[in-house]
Amino acid sequence: MSSARQPNDSALFEYLLRLGDDRLILGHRLSEWCGHGPVLEEDIALANVALDLVGQAANFLRLAGTVEGKGRDEDTLAYFRDAIEYRNAKLVELPNGDYGRTIVRQFLFDAWSVLLLERLQRSSHVELAGIAAKAYKEARYHVRHSGEWLLRLGDGTEESHRRAQTALDELWPYTGELLMADEIDKQLAGTILPASAELASAWRDAVGDVIRRATLTQPADGHMHSGGRQGRHTEHLGHALDEMQILARSHPGAKW
Amino acid sequence: MERSGAGAEQTGNGAEGPLWEVFTQPSDGSPFEHAGSVHAPDAELALQNARDVYARRGEAVNLWVVPSDAIVASSPGDRGPFFDPADDKPYRHPQFYKVPRGIRM
């Protein structure tokens, strides 16, 4: 990092929080499946993905702390911010629901994450590009895992099809927030970030293809939920943070 | 993976799907070793499950998965006729023979 603060630093800090918080919260949600997976193999698979996501979050948040320059490390950012300071999209904070819903949410996120990370590898910001390159390899596996499962749930039994379609209908209105570009994105687009319009259309192609092959129906783009990127979250995030943060807050500086 | 009506193939195999034997190759060129088994409804998921259960800590560079019922195994009753006769034939090992002087090892 250069020691002089760049004009883009506050936008970059915000953007790194988004990258980190999406993965931290989704990783936490997936970790709730540990010991409850539908079969042993899938239990391990979900825990693996959860660990990957938390690891990615740690890298993005560490860089966020460096860019901010106020001495906050990844643990401080993870454990000592309240819901209103979190910048994750609402999609990832929603409760897991059944396994079908967890997989639908995971696929919608993974399909976006893999495309974003692929492009972030070419970011002009060297550290960001490096973290993205490492995470990209993991994300390629994640989307393969959730995509293959979505195919099987959609094109499986009547029951699995019905549950996958219900989850898709309920979660679709939360996907707009992933694709939407606001002021932060616009300030960074072109050099540090990829162009968001191209990313959104690549996501639509990738997701549409799997939905079709899974014999599911792609919901229409109606009202899209937003606000997570600005710290306006659903009530679910607060409960998730309570559980995630209680140990660190009850015993500040504890090592284990 | 080619797939068609993935759900239909599972009938009779229980909710977890049939059993697959997993073989891992620890490094390029080394032989595949039996690592264990996984349940999975089809080949692609068997490969993914094998990766998650047996190769997530960097144990392998390649994987094989084989339907367990495709394995043909010797039975305990075969032990006598199959393996015992080898016990008293040490000359089948190269170490049994003295290497003549002057041959480089």
* Cβ-Cβ contacts under 8 Å, A156 against chain B: 6-7
Tokens describing residue A45? 């698979």
Q: Rounded to two decimals, what is the model's pTM?
A: 0.86
B5 contacts A152 by C-beta, under 8 angstroms: no
Nearest CA to A236 among A103, A83, A107, A100?
A: A83
Partners of B62 in the β-ladder: B25
ipTM of the complex: 0.75
Q: How many CB atoms lie within 10 A of CB B7?
A: 18
Q: What is the pLDDT of residues A221-246, one digit of tens each?
A: 999 999 999 999 999 999 999 999 99
Surface of B (48-67) touching A: CB under 8 A = 48-49, 51-53, 56
B6: nearest CB among A141, A145, A151: A151
Identify the residue among A33, A39, A141 best suited for mutation to test binding to B, counting B beta carbons within 10 A and taking the highest: A39
Query: Is B14-96 assigned to CATH 3.10.20.520?
Result: yes
Identify the CATH homologous superfamily for domain A9-217+228-250.
Ferritin, core subunit, four-helix bundle (1.20.1260.10)
Contact B53 A151 (CB under 8 A): no
Q: What is the pLDDT of residues B45-81, one digit of tens each?
A: 999 999 999 998 888 999 999 999 999 999 888 888 8
A53 contacts A30 by C-beta, under 8 angstroms: yes
Q: What are phi and psi of B67, to 5 degrees?
A: -55, 130
Q: For chain A, what are the domain ranges?
A: 9-217+228-250
Nearest CA to A118 among A144, A145, A140?
A: A140
